[in-house]
Structure formats: structure tokens, C-alpha cells
Amino acid sequence: MKTKYIEYNTNRTALIKETLTLLDLYVKYEDWKRVGKDVYELNVLMKNSKAMQDKIYSIIKKRYIGSESEFSITPFIKIANSKLPIEIKSQCMYFEFGSKDPLVLDIASGVLFERYKNGYNSVSKEHIEEFLKKQEKEHSELKSWAVTTRARFIRHYLSTIKEFGTLKGSLIKEFNKPYLPVESFLYMLHSISEKTNNNREILTAIEWHLFLMDADDVKVSLRDAGKQGYLSFEEKGNTVSINLQHKSLEEFTNAIIRT
């Protein structure tokens, strides 16, 4: 059964600065509800409207925290609270957000990546609207979305992806294929490899489409990471070998935040 599409998760765009602020407090207090106290009493988000505070606090929880009853520092939260460059933090943030939201991931793959792969240099709201219409066959919940809901979702989606750096421009949203530093690439690679032990599937994983990457792009990044000693990569015919230096995403994350 397909996971239902929801509109709420892209509301209020990327929230990069706000996410880093609240995750820093989350690690400090080890209590998400305590973070909420600072949101409302100290206005750490610097928003004058309580409705806006509510929305941002709720969205960040949904994207990166999950259960508020149990304190848990995920590899991403460690990255977010590290001294790594903001570029790496925001790329890992987009990966976490995009790879876990079926609608965001499907649009990235079925619209953005497809258009980029086929030589187009931009995407419009009409392309996403057309995609949503086609998806109604497998996602009947889309039929209940009001016209205003769809328009709001598409507007927020495009703004979100622009803030995360994969699109650029105001009126026309042009593709802006990002460069992934080795730390960002390896974070994603370890995350994907924990879902499958099939190396061919790792090369072609849909998650790479978030960054407009195809299998050839992944191979280039694998070779670059191999030169730096993070892994060994070999491809002979139909056989693909990827051996990672670190055994898990957790181990890799712990290693890079210490360097």
C-alpha cells in the first residue's frame, strides 16, 4: 500500500536556520517540549505571530524529531549540531526531509530529475500540477485537495527546493545542480546503503534524484571518495563492489564530526 501524500510537510519552506536553532536546543535540553518553551516564551524563532511559531515548531518536529516523548539524537541531528559547514548541514537536511516524504521524493524524481535528464533547464508549477494529476490514479487522496491547496503546495514546494539549492531564479525556476562535498555524499551513501545491500540498487537509488544525480554521477562521487580513503569502489561488467570504511551511518557521522 502506497504511503499517502500530505501537503503539510512543505508548508513554510526549507526552514534551514530555524531547524538548526531548534535542534541545537533539543540537544541542549534533551526534551522537545522544553524546546517549545523557548519558542513561545523567548521567541527564539523571532516570529511575532503565535500561529507562525506553532506552524514552524510543528513542521520541524514532523520532519526531524518524530516522537517527542523519547529523546533521541539521530545522525542528522549530530550533523546539524556539529561544526561542519552550513552547506553540508543544509544538504543533509534536504536529504533527510526529501527522502522521507514520499510526495517530495516523487516530485524530485518524476518531475525535476526527469526534466533535467531530458535536457530541460527549468521547471514550472504547471509541470508539477500535471504530475499531481497523473498521480491521482495511485494516490486518490490528491482528488480531495482543493485548488487552493494544490496551488499552495506547489508554491511552497518550489520555494523549499530553491532554498535548499537545487533550483534558482524567481519567476522561472532553473535547475541548479549542486556540488556535493564528500561529507554530504557519504552521509547519503551510508543512509541509502542501510536500506539495501545491493550495490547496483545503491547506484540507482531514487534518493540521488533529489540532487539531480544519476548513476554516472554517483560513480564519479564514489571514485572521489575512494581517493580519499573512505571506501573502495569497483565495477566490472554487471558486478558492482562498494566497500565502505565505516560500518554504519552512525559510525561515519561520529567520525566526521570529530575531525
**128 and 195 belong to one structural domain:** no
Domain assignment present for residue 2? The answer is: no
Domain assignment present for residue 193? The answer is: yes
Structural domain count of the chain: 3
Q: Which of 81, 111, 134 is the last residue of a domain?
A: 81
Cα separation of 230 and 224, whole Å? 9
Domain assignment present for residue 50? The answer is: yes
Contact 188, 88 (CB under 8 A): no
CA geometry: angle 64, 178, 99, nearest 5 deg = 30
φ/ψ bin of 120: left (φ > 0), alpha (ψ from -120 to 50), beta (otherwise): beta
Cα separation of 96 and 3, whole Å? 17
* Residue 58 C-alpha from the chain's centroid: 17
Domain assignment present for residue 72? The answer is: yes
Domain assignment present for residue 57? The answer is: yes
pLDDT band at 171 (very low <50, low <70, confident <90, very high): confident
Domain assignment present for residue 213? The answer is: yes
Residue 27 structural domain = 8-81
Alpha carbon of 23 to those of 18, 64, 115, 155, 226: distances in Å?
Answer: 9, 9, 35, 26, 32
Cα separation of 149 and 8, whole Å? 10
Q: Which of 175, 194, 227 is the last residue of a domain?
A: 175
Q: List pLDDT tens digits, range 66-90.
A: 888 889 999 999 999 999 999 999 9
The pLDDT value recorded for residue 238 is 87
Q: List pLDDT tens digits, range 26-71.
A: 999 999 999 999 999 999 999 989 999 999 999 999 999 988 888 9
Cell of 195: 536500506
Q: List pLDDT tens digits, range 120-137.
A: 999 999 999 999 999 999
Q: Whose grid coordinates read 511575532? A: 48
Q: Is residue 175's pLDDT more than 70?
A: yes
**166 and 203 belong to one structural domain:** no
Q: Which of 34, 53, 81 is the last residue of a domain?
A: 81
Domain assignment present for residue 3? The answer is: no
Domain assignment present for residue 74? The answer is: yes
Largest CA distance in the chain: 61
Q: List pLDDT tens digits, range 3-32.
A: 889 876 666 689 999 999 999 999 999 999
**72 and 31 belong to one structural domain:** yes
